[in-house]
Amino acid sequence: MDGSVLVTRMTDPDWVPVMKRAAGIVTDHGGPTSHAAIVSRELGVPAVVGTRNATDVLANGAAVTLSCAEGEEGHVYEGLLDFAVEEVDMATLPATRTAVMVNIGSPAAAFKWWRLPAAGVGLARMEFIINNLIRIHPMALVHPERVADPEAAALIEDLTRGYPDRREYFMDVLATGIAKIAAPFYPKPVIVRLSDFKTNEYSHLIGGGAFEQPEENPMLGFRGASRYYSEQYREGFALECEALKRVREHIGFSNVIVMVPFCRTVGEADLVIKAMADHGLVRGEAGLELYMMCEIPANVVLASAFARRFDGFSIGSNDLTQLVLGVDRDSEQLAALFDERDPAVTTMIAEAIGKAHAAGIKIGICGQGPSNHPDLAEFLVDQGIDSISLNPDTYLRTIPIIAAAEQRPGKQA
């Protein structure tokens, strides 16, 4: 399959092993926040998504060239075209006052991009490790007796061979994966987000069908913080916490910061913080810092109250844009309306930054916006944001934009 381009209607988490082997990816459906777009960026694989008709137009075995270097739209050209390679001397990159970090999903990506002079990892997604390395629903390891599907039970038996306690399999593989992400960047901060699967994604994990109920709108359903203190998932959350504790206190990567996603209310924040403490992750102990994703309008409106409970915020511009504008971020029909630069969204971002600084805590951004839109990066600099976390493949081209924005007259110091 070397050199082959994957052409498909769409991808989901089950496709990742194939996506890793592809030289490029083209899909009929999806937008900039679709599974194919997010995972291809993590893997460093060029992808053109949402073409609508690629599976009809592109013939199997045809020679094509993918280009993602010509602005916001990718192109698929007939034939194998010549291309130029630009080499960059890292020593020539301008210094910035804003901490410029990178988003990392997989251990392999961490070792691929470690040479970038990043200020750390602004977002490490736990889901990638769970989906691709562990593969089993955590509750299926806590309660294997509830897995009625013989095929799933056999897969669990095979994957956990050598672990008398199946829960140990989850904690060991997750801790090792997180440690591999933290290692290349030590002692710089590595912000690890707790699991943020939607129910449909959890159900695709091995054994997941026994523990997940279908939802009409998983994007707004049982996800993020709501899971961690619930009876349905709290035992699985305990495994996540133990893995993080091992990474920080036993393996020794105290640079790992833990981040809570999709926290809807202040009361929910208190419940999650208590659940974490019950499982051995206590804010302030052993230098542990807790961050919260700022991605729901309520997070911005009540930012001062949330700030009393966390050490920092990280703006998730994908979900914030979705919820401010009421636009399904996965909808192809509404893709033109999904824009992090919309005045309603930038007003919320500016308010979040101002409230965080007034409360004396750090605030960064780890969403897709600054990687896609240089003008949004300039706006964030103007607002005095503390850190911007970029997709690794956009890091080199965005650093000069941030540095130039910092030098403009009237820029906040």
Residues marked as catalytic = 35, 366
| Residue 60 CB neighbour total at 10 angstroms | 6
**Is the separation of the CB atoms in 105 and 128 below 8 Å?**
yes
Give the Cα separation of 367 and 144 in Å (integer).
36
Sign of CA dihedral 394, 395, 396, 400: positive
Secondary element (H or E) of residue 168: helix 166-182
For 345, the enclosing helix (H) or strand (E) is helix 343-359
Which H or E run contains 167?
Answer: helix 166-182
| Residue 18, amino acid | V
Q: Residue 342 CB: number of other CB atoms within 10 A?
A: 15
117, two tokens: 């002079």
The answer to whether the CB of 61 falls within 8 A of the CB of 4 is no
H or E stretch covering 318: helix 317-325
Residue with token string 């020593």: 91
For the chain, report the end-to-end CA distance as a whole number of angstroms: 51
DSSP of 75-88: EEEES---------
Tokens of 140: 């299926």
Kindly give the pairing relationship between strand 64-67 and strand 312-315: unpaired
> CB under 8 Å to 113, separation ≥6 — which residues?
44, 102, 104, 392, 395
CB 96 within 8 Å of CB 406: yes
Task: Give the integer Cα–Cα distance in Å for 139 and 239.
Answer: 9
CA 29 remoteness from chain centre: 20
Q: Do you find a cis peptide bond into 187, omega within 30 degrees of 0?
A: yes
